[in-house]
Structure 1
Amino acid sequence: MEFGSIEREIYVDAAPEVVFEVISTPEHIREWWGGAETDVAPVPGAAGTIGWARGTADEHVEALRVVQVDPPRLFSFRWCFDDDEAALLVTFELAAQGTGTSLRMTETGFREKGWEAAVLEEAYADHVRGWDVFVPAIGAYVRGLVAAR
């Protein structure tokens, strides 16, 4: 297996501006990313953390730094740092498609981490499982958000 990148693409029945807000702002990120709490602003260079189950024995916190912001077309960040060069890069690309948005998520940088093969394989598999849940959750959350407006 390659372990180079993870890619997911979905269609979301909402304008790119709405989808961009959902993927890039803390109050919305929490809703689709498994209760993740983040303090990072959608501004290039902004740094912060993202964490799950804070204050519990299962707490998991990662540093996060915003790389690119081009509303409503692109949002990317680095996370899972060892150092600047060995952080994973997550990129969300949005494109208007009919009355909605094509959303493509790509996560790269796994091989660059320098992990042993077993660690690389497990981390990659863990992220695949996560994005298999969380990318569709973006679409579901946006549907509910649009319906409530």
Structure 2
Amino acid sequence: MNHETIERYVEIDATPETVFEVITDPEHVRQWWPDDANFEPAPGSTGHLVFGDPSSPDAQVPQITIVAVEAPRLFSFRWVYPDGEAAIPGNSLLVTFELSPRGSGTVLHLSETGFADKGWEPEVAEAEYGDHCAGWDHFLPQLVDYAPTVGARA
């Protein structure tokens, strides 16, 4: 089994502009994905996500580095998951959201790559890949439900 790329396609009943806002503004990102998020959506900027209670030592705090921001069609970042060092090529996974208009809504194509670059043993790579698949399968429906409740900024 290839554990290199995760791909998901979802249709969202919101414009690409609204979906772009929901995936790039930490205030919105917190509503459908991590428990906390702190980043500036600008290429080269760094930040972090928090999964779990931010005050708990058990919280996972992956670092992220923004790679591309092209409103309203593309947003990508690297992240070191579960957490630790700065996210750079070779030690991180690359997440890309591509947005395409469809009727009055948006098709979001998510891809996550870089599992082979991590140097994990095969069983670790398979477990991490499975965890990330399950994570996206859990969080993307929350994005699909949340985005239509948000009006794009004028």
CA distance in 2, matches of 1:132, 1:140: 13
Q: Cα distance 1:8–1:31, how it changes in 2: closer, same or farther (>3 A)? A: same
- Cα deviation code 1:86-105 (max 9, x no counterpart): 21000000011111111010
CA distance in 2, matches of 1:59, 1:132: 21
Match of 2:131, SS state, is helix
What corresponds to 1:112 in structure 2? 117
What corresponds to 2:139 in structure 1? 134
- Give the letter for the 1:29 counterpart: V
**Residue 143 of structure 1: CA displacement?**
2.5
Match of 2:2, SS state, is coil
TM-score (norm 1): 0.92
| Contact residue 14 and residue 104 of structure 2 kept, 8 A | yes
| Contact residue 82 and residue 113 of structure 1 kept, 8 A | no
Q: Which runs of 5+ in 2 are unaligned?
A: 81-85
**Residue 83 of structure 1: CA displacement?**
5.0
Which range is displaced more, 48-57 or 22-31?
Answer: 48-57
CA distance in 2, matches of 1:84, 1:49: 16
TM-score (norm 2): 0.89
Match of 1:133, SS state, is helix
Identity of aligned residues (%): 45
CA distance in 2, matches of 1:120, 1:82: 18
What corresponds to 2:104 in structure 1? 99
Match of 1:86, SS state, is coil
What corresponds to 1:65 in structure 2? 65
Are residues 1:50 and 2:49 paired? yes
Q: Which runs of 5+ in 1 are unaligned?
A: none
Aligned-residue Cα RMSD (Å) equals 1.4
Q: Number of paired residues?
A: 145
CA distance in 2, matches of 1:16, 1:83: 28
What corresponds to 2:20 in structure 1? 20
**Residue 50 of structure 1: CA displacement?**
1.0
What corresponds to 2:94 in structure 1? 89
